[in-house]
Amino acid sequence: MVWWKAILLGIIQGLTEFLPVSSSGHIEIANYFIGNDGQFSENLLMTVVLHFGTALSTIVVFRKDILAIIKGLFDKDDDTQRSFVIKIIISMIPAVVVGLLFEKQIEALFNGKILFVFWALIATGFLLILADRAKATHKGVSYVDSLIIGISQAIAILPGISRSGATISTSVLLGIDREKAARFSFLMVVPLILGKIAKDILSGDIDFSSSRIYTLGLGFIAAFVTGIFACSLMINLVKKAQLRYFSYYCFTIAIIGLIYYYWNA
C-alpha cells in the first residue's frame, strides 16, 4: 500500500470511528473510489493497526474514566464502577455472538458490496434524526439498557451502519442522558476492538514479514491523532444535540454514491 493511501485510510478511520457516519462504510467507499492495491494479509494488518490507533485514542480521551474504573474494581466499597463494568460486559455479548456465528456472512458484505453501504448510510441518517429530536434527560444506563445498546452495536457491524451513531442514538431514545450515552458508547467498544485485534493477529492470516513498517506507522499516527480529535468533538456535539447535521452528511454521501453507482452501472 502506498504511503498516501495509508494516511488517507488512517484519517478516515480516526474521524469516522467516533463521528456517527460509519467508519466501515467510509473505508469501503474509499476502497471503491481509490482502489485497493494490497494483498489480503497486508490489508488485514493495516486494518488491525488502524483499529489499534482508534482504540488507543479512546483510552487517551477517557484515561481518567478508565483509571477510576480500574481503581473502583479494587475498592470493595465502590459498587458504582463494578456495576459499570458489568454493564459494559453485557453490552458486548450481542456483538460477540453475532461476530462469531455470522463471521463469513458479515465478511461477504465487506467484499465490494458498495450499494449496501450507501443504503445503510441512509438508514443511519434517519436514526440520527430521531435521536436528535429526543428530549434531554439525566437518566443513567441500566442493565437492560446496556443489553439493548449492545444489540444496536451488533447491528452496526454491518458496513454503513454507524456504531457510535447506532449506540448513542439508541441510548438517547431510551431516555439516557446524552453525555452518559456518549461516554458509555465509546468505552463499550474498547474491549471489542482489542478483542478483534487479538483474534485477527492469532488467526494466522497476517503476514508480518511482507508489510512495510512506515506505511503502517503513517496509518497508525493518522488514525490516532484524528481519533482523539473526533472523539472529543463528538462528546460536545452529542451534548448539544447536533446529530442531525451528520444525518445530512450521511444522506448527501449516500445519494451522491447511488447516483455515481447507477450512472456507471
Please give the tally of structural domains in the chain: 1
What are the tens digits of pLDDT across the range 187-230? 998 888 888 888 878 876 666 655 578 888 999 999 999 999 99
Q: Tens digits of per-residue pLDDT, 42-85? A: 667 788 889 899 999 999 999 999 998 888 888 777 788 889 99
Q: How many CB atoms lie under 10 A from the CB of residue 52?
A: 16
Range of the domain at 89: 3-263
The DSSP secondary structure of the chain, one letter per residue, reads --HHHHHHHHHHHHHHTTSTT-HHHHHHHHHHHH---S-HHHHHHHHHHHHHHHHHHHHHHTHHHHHHHHHHHT-TT-HHHHHHHHHHHHHHHHHHHHHHHSHHHHHHHTSS-HHHHHHHHHHHHHHHHHHHTSPP--B---HHHHHHHHHHHHHTTSTTS-HHHHHHHHHHHTTB-HHHHHHHHHHHHHHHHHHHHHHHHHTT---GGGS-HHHHHHHHHHHHHHHHHHHHHHHHHHHTT-THHHHHHHHHHHHHHHHHHHH--
Closest Cα partner for 46 from 12, 10, 20? 10
Q: Which residue has the higher pLDDT, 133 or 90?
A: 90
Written as nine digits, the cell of 42 is 497486508
- Rounded alpha-carbon distances, angstroms, from residue 27 to 6, 17, 33: 11, 10, 10
What is the average pLDDT score of the chain?
A: 86
Q: pLDDT digits over 87-113, tens only?
A: 999 999 999 999 889 878 887 777 768
pTM of the shown model:
0.87
Most confident of 106-115, 147-156, 231-240: 147-156
In the chain, what's the furthest Cα-to-Cα distance?
Answer: 63
Output the pLDDT for position 244: 86
